[in-house]
Amino acid sequence: MNGVELFLLGRTLMKIGEEAMPTQGVERTGVRTVLVVVSDLRDHPETSVGEIAARTGLPQSAVSGAVARLKEAGSIVTEPDPRDRRRVLIRHAPEVSPRLEEVRASSIEGAIAAAAGTNDPGQVAEIVATLESLARRLSPGSAHR
């Protein structure tokens, strides 16, 4: 496998992940942007829209829209920065939101089966196990980093 193949696999996995996300009552557009913002918040637990935009390369308007969606879903809270009242600080909500519970409880098996073109539960389980192994080894915060 070369860098191009790895990059294309990553894009495919992102698309499968988007398909696996529960969307009932949620607008599907912008899911990727919301996930990028959530990922940045995981690494920077107290931040601002401008800082997220600078780190991620997303337009500030896209970050603002994602922050609004996350706030409406109860996943984050915002408050004025006590050092600079013009700036708004963003952080994860202290309680797990119903939307986050729904996302955490969702399954990827259906999206994996569709992407792999199989209904064989054994093949799907093998792919899921491989992805879980990769996630343990390569995800941020894994032991070797």
108-131 residue pLDDT tens: 999 999 999 999 999 999 999 999
Taking a C-beta distance cutoff of 8 angstroms, is the pair 99, 74 a contact? yes
- The pLDDT assigned to 138 comes to 92
- The pLDDT assigned to 25 comes to 58
Phi and psi at residue 29, to the nearest 5°: -65, 140
Q: Which residues partner with 92 through β-bridges?
A: 76
What is the reported pTM? 0.74
Fold exhibited by the domain 27-95: Arc Repressor Mutant, subunit A (1.10.10)
CA distance 73 to 92: 11
Span of 3-7, 12-16, 22-26, 112-116 with lowest mean pLDDT: 22-26
Q: Which residue spans of the chain are classified as CATH 1.10.10.10?
A: 27-95
Query: Does an H or E element contain 104, and which?
Result: helix 98-105
- The pLDDT assigned to 55 comes to 96
User: Exposed/middle/buried for 90, CB within 10 Å: 0-12, 13-18, 19+?
Assistant: buried
CA distance 79 to 87: 9
Taking only the tens place, the pLDDT of each residue in 62-110 is: 999 999 989 988 899 999 988 888 889 999 999 988 888 888 888 999 9
Q: Provide the pLDDT confidence category of residue 56 given band limits of 50, 70 and 90.
A: very high
* Residue type present at position 19: E
Query: Does an H or E element contain 134, and which?
Result: helix 121-138
Q: Provide the pLDDT confidence category of residue 142 given band limits of 50, 70 and 90.
A: low
As a whole number, the mean pLDDT across the chain is 89
- The pLDDT assigned to 86 comes to 86
